[in-house]
Each structure stands twice: as structure tokens, then as C-alpha cells.
Structure 1
């Protein structure tokens, strides 16, 4: 009789949004090392926001085992962190006189196709050495927009699961009721049993031949 009621947790490394967040973290580190002067608080804030996005996706996935509420909260923190990072990249473009590629910009469509490709996911650093800081910024902005969109969809799914299944207390209650019902339906817990056999061999002293 199974007594397990906790779902399997983790698996975040298989989420595309986690892989994107990991790439965003790496690219943000490279960008700030190259283009943000040492000692500027913005540099540390950008790296921390990128790290928070990645880490909270992972922590939310792990927390889902025992708390759907915590999973939702941490997923939302991840989204908020990436949105904060998005503003920093937009500020850089504006303050340094670069254009932000809007939805009608011809290069944005090409960029979106590229970052969705297997080639990019396998080697996201392939072309960054050819980019100026404005192009690098727009690459990061494109990735962040994709990641936050995916996190919004993930949050919707998590909220629906919570409404349908409840939290850990509801699951524990249902598991306990199901367990009790199984016991009531099989009160003795017996299977087919036979009488034990005496392992001592019988004496053959007076046996007739």
C-alpha cells in the first residue's frame, strides 16, 4: 500500500525558461564586465537581478514539493527580478544614445528567430564579440522579454494547479482519507496464508518398510 503523496519536485533544468534565465545571467555578467565601469552600483545590481531571476526559478521548482504557494511566490520574484534587469538595459540604451529595437524594427524579427534556434541555445556566446554595446543590449532585452512572457504563462499554470489541487494541507488530508478508506476496505490486511510447516524432520526409527 503506497503512502506517498508528495509530488516529484525539481526538474527545473529541463525548463526552457530556466535555460534562458541562465543564459541571461551569463550574458549580463559579460556585458557589465565589458561596458559598466568598476565601482558603479548599477553593475552589481544588474548581476544580482539576473542571478535572482535564475535562482528563484530553481528554488520555486524545488519548493513545489511541499508548497504550491511558495512556488508561485518565487516564480513571481523571478519575473520581477528580470523585469528590473530589463529596465537597466533600457536605461543603458537611452543614456548612451542607442536605439531600442521595437516590434517593427527589421533586426528584431531576425533576433527573435535566432534566439529561438537550437544553435543559439547550444552556443549563446557565438556572436557577442561582433556586437557593439547597443546590439548586445538589444539581444539581452529580447531574451528577457521572452523569459518574462514564459514566466507569466508558468504562473498562470501554477495558479490553475493550486485552484484544482490545493496546497500541501489539502493533499495531506486527501491522502489520509484515501489511506483510511483502503484500510477500512481491507481491515485485516491479510493475504492468503497457510499454516506454518514444522521444519523438524520426522523420526524414521519405527517406520515400517
Structure 2
């Protein structure tokens, strides 16, 4: 029988700081913020706020989704998909920026493409990118952002597939609660059944012990009576001998 204690109701909290797609989402947000500050007018172009909010929404929904995953796999899946949607919106804004200004979207034929792809693949932390935020051109920043968005989305899809499989095999919070409660009741029922099965044997052993105790008590009483009888006989004999000795001494 399945042990309910081995299938907890609450799932383990995921440490998002160590997930590569979260680390990349942090880079994307900071890169987007720096890009907007450098290249998009704060008042004349509403795209600025939309891009920053989309980048923030991606990162924050990852955090909220993973935190909600402790109790709700369904909510976790929904929020992570919201993060993906925000990421796609941001990617579209970066592409629109390049297209509207007749700048290049790097492809495999571009001289910087392979180096950019390799750098984004093996670097996840903000400190790996922050020094370049003031050095890259707007075209470079957009292309690095697009590459990071693509990689992050791909990683999140893999993570969502993993969560989907866990949901299929383990169920959601209600199923885990039902399974835990049912397991607990089954364990109690099994223990009760064991006790009820062993009760006749215990009862028989108790009766046997009581019979043995009564036999030992009877033997003890019998031995006690014989010992007392022997004691009194010897006491009477000693008293008689003492009296006889006293008479003999009187005649002497």
C-alpha cells in the first residue's frame, strides 16, 4: 500500500535563482531597461513603457508561478505561460524596432551571429552582460535581446513539458490532498485490522498467563503451608527437648 507520508500535499519550492531561464529573464529585463533609456524617447514613444513592462512581466510571472507551484500546479502552468506571452510581446517589440529603422536582424550569414549565439548560450548571469549595456549599439542590443528571448522561451517550454508530465502522473493539489487523506485513512484501517487480528491471540496468551499465575500461586501457597507446618513441628520439638533437658537438670 502506498505510504501517504511519501506523497506530500505541498510540492517542494523551486529555487528560481538557479534556473537558467530565470537568470536569462533577469538579463532580458535589465537589458530592456538599459536599451529603452538609451534609445527610446521617454515621452514621445509609448513603446518604451510597454517594453519595460513586458520584460518585467516575464521575470515576475516566473517568480510568482514557481512560488504558486507549491500549492497549485495549474496556477504555476498558467503564470509561466503568461511569462512566455510577455516574452513574445517583448521579442516582437525588438523586431519592430529593427524593422522600422531598417536595421539588421542577425542571421547565420551575419559575421556576429555565431559569436552572439555562443555567448548567449553559455552566459546566463546579469554580470556577464551588464558591462556591454553602454557599449553595444542599438542594433546589437536588439539582436542580443532577441537571442536571449528565443533561448529563454525554449527553456521555459521544456520546463512546462516537465510540469505537464508531473501533473499527469501526480495530479494537482486536490488530488494530492485526497491521496494523502485516503492514504492516512487506509493506514489507520490497516492498523485497526492488524490489532483486531492479533486480539484473539493476545487474549489467549493473557488467559494462559492468568492460568499459569494461578498455578504458581497455588504452588506457592502449598509450599508456604508445608514450610509453616515443618517450622511449627520443629518449634514444638525444640520446646519439648528444652523441657526434657530442664527436668533432667532439676533431678541432678
**TM-score, normalising length: structure 1:** 0.83
For 1:60-95, what per-residue CA distance to the aligned partner results, in whole angstroms no more than 9, with x for missing partners? 101111111111101110001000000100011111
- Structure 1: stretches of 5+ with no match in the other structure: 191-209
Q: Residues 55-94 of structure 1: matches in 2 within 5 Å? A: 55-94=60-99
For residues 73 and 90 of structure 2, the distance between their equivalents in structure 1, rounded to whole angstroms, comes to 26
Q: How far has the Cα of 1:120 moved from its partner?
A: 6.0
Looking at secondary structure, tell me which structure has more helix per residue. Answer: 2
Contact (CA 8 Å) 1:115, 1:121: kept in 2 or not?
no
Aligned match for 1:171, one of 171, 176, 194:
176
Count of residues in correspondence between the two structures: 190
> Is the counterpart of residue 7 in structure 1 residue 11 in structure 2?
yes
Shift of 1:184: 2.1
Instruction: Give distance in 2, aligned partners of 1:119 and 1:186.
Output: 53
Large movers: runs of 4+ above 6 Å: none
Q: Which residue pairs with 1:185 in the alignment?
A: 190
SS of match in other structure, 1:82: helix
Selected match of 1:154 from 152, 159, 167: 159
For 1:106 and 1:182, the matched residues in 2 are separated by: 66
CA distance in 1, matches of 2:165, 2:51: 32
Equivalent of residue 29 in structure 1, options 23, 29, 33: 33
Report the Cα offset of residue 118 of structure 1. Answer: 4.5
Q: Aligned with 1:130: secondary structure? A: coil
Q: Considering only CA atoms, is the larger Rg found in Structure 1 or Structure 2?
A: 2
> 2:34, 2:133 within 8 Å by CA — same for their partners in 1?
no
- With structure 2 as the length reference, what TM-score do the two structures score? 0.70
2 CA distance for matches of 1:54 and 1:136? 19
| Root-mean-square deviation over aligned CA pairs | 2.2
> What is aligned with 1:47?
52
Aligned position for 1:18: 22
**Aligned partners of 1:4, 1:129: CA distance in 2, in Å?**
49
Determine helix, strand or coil for the equivalent of 1:98: coil
For 2:125 and 2:23, locate their aligned partners in 1 and report how far apart those are by CA, in whole Å.
11
Distance 1:85 1:118, change over 3 A: closer
User: Equivalent residue of 1:37, what SS?
Assistant: coil
Which whole-Å deviations, capped at 9, do the CAs of 1:121-156 have from their partners, x for residues lacking one? 542112233211111111111111111111111111
> Aligned equivalents of 1:50 and 1:118: distance in 2?
18
- Report the CA distance between 1:117 and its aligned residue: 2.9
Q: Structure 2 stretches of 5 or more lacking a match? A: 196-252
Cα distance between partner residues in 2 of 1:164 and 1:117: 33
Q: Of 127, 130, 134, which residue of structure 1 is paired with 2:132?
A: 127
